[in-house]
Structure 1
Amino acid sequence: MKNVIVTGAGAGIGRETAKLFARKGNRVIVADIDEAGAEETVAAIKDADGEAVPYRLDVRSEDQWEDFARWVRTMYGGADVLINNAGVMDLGGFVETTIPQWQRMIDINLMSVVYGSKVFAQQMIDNGVHGHIVNISSGAAFLPSQLEPAYGVAKIGVLMATQSLRVELRKHNIGVTAICPGVIRTNLLANGERNGLTPEQQAEWKAQMGSVQTSLGFGGPDKVARVIERSVRNNWAIVPVNPEAWLGYGLFRLSPTLLRTVASVASYGRIDQILSAARPLLNRLTG
């Protein structure tokens, strides 16, 4: 039985990934700052006769990662697979996003991956484990955008950190993968923030964007979970998931100028117009 750690496993992609690895016969350590969500994931796994334990983890804290790694080693001998999934998505232009808001994106989406990968890679090396580390990047890593530059910067950082780690850990027979999902039917946008709005405007925006993501995403979190599991088995390097992520990846490699031109079309004004026009359809889709 392998020990599989999934961060942000209290909901969404993390929850489905934890359930899938448990069904494959692994012990899953469900790590999340949301203790209630983690407990729900563990209960679902145990109801299906799987093995899982919850662990409260604030991924922004290097000290908590160090404590977490010691706990895993003491309780279960060490990790075999680490899936750095925890993340948030705040929206807002480069200039209107404040420095604390930039820092929040970097701390949660990028530095958590650095902390976790560093401490558990070292644990795998020390234990002689031919393990695997999966870091969740994003289709946003390929898309320069005025809509979510802080998120995109963090996620392309994840992509490069993952590739650098893959090069370094190859001699230890430890695989490393970057997953770039695209738009998935989760509550990522609904749980994020829209910078530069009043509280009333932000509440309306989050409700609108939450309905868009849950209605129009090309795949659910179970789809990403299956890709993650296959990536661990096959040691894939970079894996876009949805069609728009593959398209962005292709343009990113073939024609960055064209990609920037396409991305420049998107603006909050146009999105607001589209949402207003599409509101009747979205209401029907969300029931």
Structure 2
Amino acid sequence: MSTVIVTGGAAGIGLETARLFATKGDRVVIADLDGPGAEVAAADIVAAGGRAHSYRLDVSDEQQWENFGKWVNDQFGAADVLINNAGIMDLGGFTEMSAAQWQRTVDIDLMSVVYGCRVFAKQMIDAGVRGHIVNLSSGAAYAPFKLEPAYGVAKAAVLMASQALRVELRSHGIGVTAICPGAIRTDLLAHGERAGLSDAEQAAWRDDIGKAQSMAFAGPDKVARVIERSVRNNWAIVPVNPESWLGFVMFRLSPSLVRVTLSLASFDRADALLTRVRPLLARNSK
């Protein structure tokens, strides 16, 4: 039985991933800032016949990662699989977003991956475990989209960090995968912030954009299946969804075409589109 750690495991992609590994007979540890949510998720898996434990973890805090690593090792021995899934997605132009918003994105989307990989890669090496690390990057890692530069920068760094770590850990028999999802039905945008809005505007934006994301073609279970196969097959970089594959290929064939195409996007166009589809979003949310 393997010990599989999933950050951000209380909901969305993390929850579906934890459920899937549990059905394979693995012990899952659901780590999430939402402690009660992690407890409920673990209890549901146990009720379904799986093995699951919860742990409250602020992934942006290095010391909490150190404490978490020690707890896992004391409770179950060295981890076999680490899935760095926790993340946020704030929107806003490069100069529009404040330095604090940039730092928050980097701390949660990038540095959490660095902290987790350092703690658990060392744990695997010390124990001689031929394990696997999965880091959730994004299709935004190779799409210079001006509506989400901080997110794209952080996810591009996660993609490169994963490849650097893959090279370093190869001699230890530890695999590393970067998963790059496209549009997935989660609450990522609904829980994010958009720079430059008042509180009332922010609430309305979250409601609209959350409903829009809920209409995405693929659900979090699709990403979970890709993650599980990536661990089994030791894949390096895996885009998820056609739009992510298209971006992955096009950015290598013609970066300039990608930049020109994405330069057409704007918040004004996004707001106009949301206004036009708001009746449809309202009907689908009922």
The normalised TM-score by structure 2 is: 0.99
Deviation track 1:138-188 (CA, whole Å, cap 9, x = no partner) reads 011111011000000000000000000000000111000000011100100
Instruction: Return the letter of the residue paired with 1:9.
Output: G
Describe the SS at the equivalent of 2:238: strand
* Separation (CA, whole Å) in 1 of partners of 2:13 and 2:283: 25
Mapping of residues 157-168 of structure 1, within 5 Å = 157-168=157-168
Partner of 1:254: 253
Structure 1: which 4+ aligned runs deviate by more than 2 Å?
Answer: none
* Separation (CA, whole Å) in 2 of partners of 1:77 and 1:277: 54
Unaligned runs of 5+ in 2: none
Deviation, 1:285, is: 2.0
Instruction: Return the letter of the residue paired with 2:256.
Output: T
* Separation (CA, whole Å) in 2 of partners of 1:53 and 1:184: 26
* Separation (CA, whole Å) in 2 of partners of 1:211 and 1:272: 14
Partner of 2:26: 26
Describe the SS at the equivalent of 2:214: helix
* Separation (CA, whole Å) in 2 of partners of 1:255 and 1:170: 31
Partner of 1:198: 198
Instruction: Return the letter of the residue paired with 1:200.
Output: A
* Separation (CA, whole Å) in 2 of partners of 1:43 and 1:123: 27
Partner of 2:281: 282
Unaligned runs of 5+ in 1: none
Partner of 1:270: 269
Instruction: Return the letter of the residue paired with 2:162.
Output: T
Deviation track 1:203-244 (CA, whole Å, cap 9, x = no partner) reads 1100010000001x1210101000000000000000000111
* Separation (CA, whole Å) in 2 of partners of 1:49 and 1:18: 13
* Separation (CA, whole Å) in 2 of partners of 1:3 and 1:222: 20
Deviation, 1:281, is: 1.8
Partner of 1:111: 111
Partner of 2:54: 54
Instruction: Return the letter of the residue paired with 2:25.
Output: G
Instruction: Return the letter of the residue paired with 2:152.
Output: G
Deviation, 1:252, is: 1.2
Partner of 2:4: 4
* Separation (CA, whole Å) in 1 of partners of 2:212 and 2:177: 29
Mapping of residues 77-88 of structure 1, within 5 Å = 77-88=77-88
Instruction: Return the letter of the residue paired with 1:143.
Output: A
Partner of 1:128: 128
Partner of 2:39: 39
* Separation (CA, whole Å) in 2 of partners of 1:82 and 1:227: 15
Q: Paired residues, what number?
A: 286
* Separation (CA, whole Å) in 2 of partners of 1:72 and 1:78: 7
* Separation (CA, whole Å) in 1 of partners of 2:282 and 2:64: 42
The normalised TM-score by structure 1 is: 0.99
Q: Is 1:242 equivalent to 2:275 in the alignment?
A: no
* Separation (CA, whole Å) in 1 of partners of 2:88 and 2:140: 13
Instruction: Return the letter of the residue paired with 1:140.
Output: A
Deviation track 1:226-265 (CA, whole Å, cap 9, x = no partner) reads 0000000000000000111111101111110000011111
